[in-house]
Amino acid sequence: MSDYKTITFEQKGRVAVVTLNRPDSLNALNAEVMADVAECFAAIDRNKDIAVSVITGAGRAFAAGADIKEMQPQSFSDMYVEDYFAGWDRFAVCRKPVIAAVNGFALGGGCELAMMCDLIIASDKAKFGQPEIKLGVTPGMGGSIRLTKAIGKAKAMDLVLTGRMIDGEEADRIGLVSRVVPHDELMDIALKAADEVAGFSIPSIMAAKEMVSRALELPTTEGVKFERRLFQGLFGTEDQKEGMAAFSEKRAANFQDK
Ligand code: CO8
């Protein structure tokens, strides 16, 4: 793994822990962060020893959004021609599961980044919101679509049009997050969940992520067919034989990612 300037990377067994590390600007997402995150997660996808990642933020924010100071002078053509921030699409297509451990502010692009992840575990001090309307713009990293799919039109409109912040409890109630946990236990719980997933076979973990992600895009009959092909394909793995034999023999499975 390279040396990153704006994030830190640690490997704990089969789990990667990536920390957004610009605490002085509440981990505002500038072009450098985007490049570091995209490169880091591409490397994680290639790394056969990593099954799952956790992404979190240093200090009191997960990420307080795209870097407003960097964006302020940009013109339409800068944004359009350079496709500013398209690198986040590379993160969104990471094939191994990513757990967002949301430790504080997750606003604008920060909320959108969390929604690109597969599980969102929020601290009870987390704050979510899409405040772009207050800056004369709108969500631009997929928030309008991912938020609407996650929580429905009524709640998404409320957040996008008013720009109001919600706490972890409300985010949990409306289905934006997977779990809300006491702040001091956030990383332990996120790492425990990551370890649990990392104990399974990587092909089945990746297939599970792929089918649930596609469920959001496909009509039901196509989604069911897509799921079935992946399910059937897993019968070509040694780990399917091992997992089912271990069940019959009443022992723990010893998966080999094959
Ligand atoms: N960008 C740049 N700097 C930021 C950002 C940000 N998003 N958020 C905070 N900072 C900086 C502040 O400027 C401040 O720096 P300094 O100390 O140099 O003045 C430092 O972080 C600490 O922030 P505050 O002093 O403001 O801390 P408070 O506790 O008073 O307030 C808040 C915390 C409420 C989180 C406040 O900082 C805030 O409102 N931040 C901005 C939140 C926001 O509007 N986010 C949305 C940004 S737009 C966006 O994300 C669009 C995404 C789509 C882009 C797609 C492009 C194609």
Nearest to 22 by CA among 139, 109, 80, 83: 109
Q: Is 106 a catalytic residue?
A: no
Exposure string for 3-40, b = 16+ CB within 10 A, e = fewer: ebebbebeeeebbbbbbbbbeebbbbbbbebbebbbbb
Q: Is 112 a catalytic residue?
A: yes
Predicted TM-score (pTM) of this structure: 0.97
- Provide the 3-class DSSP secondary structure of residue 168: helix
Instruction: Give the E-state strand segments of 34-167 in sequence order.
Output: 52-57, 61-63, 98-102, 105-107, 119-123, 127-129, 166-167
Q: Tell me which residue has its CA closest to atom 4 in ligand 1.
A: 25
Pocket test residue of 25, 102, 144 for ligand 1, highest count of atoms within 8 A of CB: 25
CB 10 within 8 A of CB 36: no
Q: Tell me which residue has its CA closest to atom 30 in ligand 1.
A: 26
Residue 135, ligand 1, Cβ within 6 A:
yes
Can you tell me the distance from the alpha carbon of 219 to that of 240, in angstroms, rounded to the nearest whole number? 28
Q: Is 110 a catalytic residue?
A: no
Nearest to 135 by CA among 76, 75, 66: 66
Residue 34, ligand 1, Cβ within 6 A:
no
CB 107 within 8 A of CB 133: no
- The helix or strand, by DSSP H or E, that contains position 16, with its residue range, turns out to be strand 15-20
ipTM, 2 decimals? 0.97
* pLDDT tens sequence for the chain (258 residues): 568 999 999 999 999 999 999 999 999 999 999 999 999 999 999 999 999 999 999 999 999 999 999 999 999 999 999 888 899 999 999 999 999 999 999 999 999 999 999 999 999 999 999 999 999 999 999 999 999 999 999 999 999 999 999 999 999 999 999 999 999 999 999 999 999 999 999 999 999 999 999 999 999 999 999 999 999 999 999 999 999 999 999 999 999 999
Q: Tell me which residue has its CA closest to atom 2 in ligand 1.
A: 67
Residue 63, ligand 1, Cβ within 6 A:
no
